[in-house]
Structure 1
Amino acid sequence: MINWQLDYDLTRYNSFGFTSHAERFISVTEIDELELALSDVEANNWPLLILGGGSNLVLKERIPGAVIHIANTGIAVLADDGEQAIVESAAGENWHQFIGHLLEKGLHGLENLALIPGSVGAAPVQNIGAYGVEVSDCLHSVTAYDRQNKELVQLQNASCEFSYRNSIFKSRFPGRYIIWSVRFNLSSIFTPQLDYSGLGNFLAGKGIEQPSAIEVYTAICEIRSSKLPVPSEIGNAGSFFENPIVDESEYRRLKEQFPELVAFPESMGRYKLAAGWLIDKAGWKGAKQNAVGVYDKQALVLVNHGDGNASQLLELADAIKQSVCERYQVSLRIEPRIYPI
C-alpha cells in the first residue's frame, strides 16, 4: 500500500523556487517502493513525473497525476586495481557531494563537473558537461527500471546514446527508464583536463602550471561561483539554453558579421556557439521582466527574483529566443525540462 501525499508543495524540489503543487507525491528509497508506486500510476493512468534534485526543471503551478521522488542513497567501490576503479552511486545522491566524496577517496575523472546542481541520477539524462568534460566520458553503465518490461536493466555506456546534452533517456525513450544507480570508470592517477581555455588561464593566473586534483576542483568551484548564482539565494537552473552547434559555413557567416563571436570547434567541421555571448550581445544581460530576469553576471542563466512563476519565465525565454534568432539567424533550445508541457 502506497501512502501518497496529496496536494504536495514542490517549492523546495525545484531550484527556481517556483510555487508548485503536485496532485500526489511520494519519495522512494527502495526499488520495491518504486514498483508499488508505478503500479498505482499505471492502474489509474496518472500522468507521471520522476523527480530527482529538481535543478534542471521548470515546474508549472499545478502538477497533475503523480510525482515520484527518487531518494535512494549509497556509494560503493565495486572494483579497484590500484590504478582504475569502478564506483557505483545511487541515483538519489547529490552530484556535487558525490564528486567531493570521490576526491577524498583519490578517484579522478569528474573534477571538472564540480558544483553542478542536481542528483547523480539526473546526470546521464542530460549528459551534463562543463569545462571540457561530459559525464559520458567516465560513465561505465546505468542501472534503470524499465517501465515497459517491468524490470531492472543495466545499460552500458554505448547503449545510452550520449551526445551533447542528450541521451536515450531524454530523446529516444523519454519516460521509459527510471535511473536507479550509475557506475563510473575512474582513475587513481590524476590527469588534469585543461582543454577549456578559461580553466587553464584561471590556474595560470594563480601561478599553477601542474595542478593537483584539489586545485582543479577548487578552481572549478571558484569559477562557477563567480558566474552562477546559488539557487538557495537566487532561484535558477544553471544554463537555461543549450549552446547551438552549427556547420562551418554558418560559423563563417556569423564570424564575418560578428568578428568577436565566441565559438569552439567540434568534430566534423562543426562549431559550438557560446549561447551566453549571443544573448549578452543581443542586450539581454541583466534584463528584468515581471519577477524573473537574466542574471547580470552570466546571460545564459535565467533567474527568479523571488515571486516569479513558470509562465513568466517561459515568456521571457521566448522573447530571448526571438531576439537572438532575428539578430543572428540562430535558434536557441531551452535546456531544462518544462513540466507539464
Structure 2
Amino acid sequence: MTILQNISLKPYNTFGLDATAQFFVEIQSVEELVEVLQSPDFQSIEKLFLGGGSNMLLTQDFDGLVIKINIKGIHKNFEDNTHIHIQAGAGEVWHELVMYCVEHQYAGMENLSLIPGTVGAAPMQNIGAYGVEIKDIFEELQALNLETLAIETFKLADCHFGYRESVFKHEFKGKYVITSVTFKLMKEPVFKVGYGDIQKTLEEMGVVELSIKAVSDAVISIRKSKLPDPAEIGNSGSFFKNPEIPKTQYDTLKAQFENIPSYPINESTVKVPAGWLIEQAGWKGFRDGQIGVHARQALVLVNYGGGTGEQIKALSQKVQASVFEKFGIKLSVEVNFI
C-alpha cells in the first residue's frame, strides 16, 4: 500500500476530467482501509472514497486523500432450493459481477447488465434499469463505520431504498464506507422483459426461448445503441433522474403536450422520462466546445475531451432551468458534484 502525491484523477473518473488529488491510495482489504484511516498523517484532512468513478463530476482539484476501494472477491455464502446468495467485494466491477451471475445461471441481475461502476457504489443510489433495482435483489451489505472503524451489517430495511436513493446518500453520507454487498438471486428466473425495448430487441435477435443470457444480451445491445462508451466519450451515463410528479400535474401537462410519456408509480404519482423532457426542451445533440448533450440520449452529458467539470455543471444547470421553464418540472441530478 503506497500513498501517492499530486495524482491526476483523469484515469479514475468516467468523464475523463483532469483533476488532481493531493494524496491518493488504492486499498485491497478492510484491514488496509482501517490502517489508512488510523494513520496520524491523514486524520485531519478531507477524504474522498472512490469506486469506479462513474457517478461523480469533479469540478475542482481535491485537496485531501482519495481512497480508491479495490476490495475484490465473489463467493457464495448461502444456498437453498430456490435462492442463492452471492457476496461481492465493493471493488468488484459491477458488470463483471453481473456476467459472473449470468454465466452461473443465477437469475435477477440480468436486467442490470452493462451499468458502469463498482459493487460498492450500487446500493448507495439503488441503481436500476429496465424494471429492476438493487433493492429487488438485495440481501445485505457490510460497511465500515468511519467513527468506530467497526464493520456493521445493513439489511434491506436498514437501507431505506428509494428511486436512486438510500440511507447512504442522506443521514449516513460520509459516515460509512461499503466494503461488500450480498445479493439474493434465484435459481429459477422470473423474466422482466416488458420495460423499454427488451421484448423488441429479443425478437430482433431471433430469441424464441427466453434465458438469463438472452435478456442480458438484449439489455447490453440496447445500452450500447443508446449510451456512449466512456472509453470513447467521457460521460457518467444518466446525468439526471427521471422525475416523479403528481398525477394531477401530469394530467395538466398531458393536455398541453399530448405525446408526453409516463410510467405509473401509484394512483397519485407518475414517472416522466427526463430524456424526453430534455429533448423537447431542445437540448439533444447540443454541443458547446468540448462538452455537450449526447446526440442519441439526452439524459447523458458528455465531455468530448478537454472539457471541465465546472463547464459540465453549468450546462446541467442550464438544462434544468430550461426544462423547468417549459414543463414546471425540476430535474434532479444522479451524479455527485465533487
Could you state the TM-score of these two structures normalised by the residue count of structure 2? 0.97
Query: What is the letter of the counterpart of residue 38 of structure 2?
Result: S
Q: Distance in 2 between matches of 1:251 and 1:152?
A: 45
2:48 counterpart residue number: 49
1:177 counterpart residue number: 176
Q: Distance in 1 between matches of 2:43 and 2:142?
A: 26
2:18 counterpart residue number: 19
Provide the secondary structure at the position in 2 that maps to 1:88.
strand
1:273 counterpart residue number: 272
Q: Go from structure 1 to structure 2 and tell me whether the alpha carbon gap of 1:7 and 1:139 turns closer, same or farther (over 3 Å shift).
A: same
CA contact (8 A) 2:37 2:43 kept: no
Q: Distance in 2 between matches of 1:237 and 1:133?
A: 20
1:255 counterpart residue number: 254
1:286 counterpart residue number: 285
- Superposition RMSD on alpha carbons, in Å? 1.4
1:221 counterpart residue number: 220
Residues 21-80 of structure 1, C-alpha deviation per residue, up to 9 Å, x if partnerless? 101011101112111211237964211110000001111231111111100110001112
CA contact (8 A) 2:51 2:117 kept: yes
2:230 counterpart residue number: 231
Q: Distance in 2 between matches of 1:118 and 1:57?
A: 11
Residues 159-204 of structure 1, C-alpha deviation per residue, up to 9 Å, x if partnerless? 0110000001112210111000000000111121123142223223
Q: Distance in 2 between matches of 1:41 and 1:328?
A: 52
2:166 counterpart residue number: 167
Deviation, 1:105, is 1.1
Instruction: Among all aligned residue pairs of Structure 1 and Structure 2, give the percentage whose two residues are the same amino acid.
Output: 38
**Does residue 1:122 correspond to 2:129, yes or no?**
no
Question: How many corresponding residue pairs?
Answer: 338
Residues 60-99 of structure 1: matches in 2 within 5 Å?
A: 60-99=59-98
Q: Go from structure 1 to structure 2 and tell me whether the alpha carbon gap of 1:304 and 1:41 turns closer, same or farther (over 3 Å shift).
A: farther
Consecutive unaligned residues of structure 1, counting only runs of 5 or more, are none
Deviation, 1:257, is 1.0
Q: Distance in 2 between matches of 1:43 and 1:66?
A: 7
CA contact (8 A) 2:73 2:89 kept: yes
1:320 counterpart residue number: 319
CA contact (8 A) 2:42 2:65 kept: no
Q: Distance in 2 between matches of 1:93 and 1:53?
A: 9
Query: What is the letter of the counterpart of residue 101 of structure 2?
Result: L
Q: Distance in 2 between matches of 1:250 and 1:42?
A: 54
Query: What is the letter of the counterpart of residue 193 of structure 1?
Result: K
Q: Which moved more, 1:39-48 or 1:140-149?
A: 39-48
Which consecutive aligned stretches of 4+ in structure 1 deviate over 3 angstroms post-superposition?
A: 40-44, 204-210
Q: Go from structure 1 to structure 2 and tell me whether the alpha carbon gap of 1:81 and 1:283 turns closer, same or farther (over 3 Å shift).
A: same
CA contact (8 A) 2:290 2:305 kept: yes
Query: What is the letter of the counterpart of residue 223 of structure 2?
Result: R
CA contact (8 A) 2:21 2:62 kept: yes
1:331 counterpart residue number: 330
**Does residue 1:132 correspond to 2:122, yes or no?**
no
Could you state the TM-score of these two structures normalised by the residue count of structure 1? 0.96
2:111 counterpart residue number: 112
Q: Distance in 1 between matches of 2:43 and 2:78?
A: 42
Residues 233-253 of structure 1, C-alpha deviation per residue, up to 9 Å, x if partnerless? 000000000011001111111
Consecutive unaligned residues of structure 2, counting only runs of 5 or more, are none
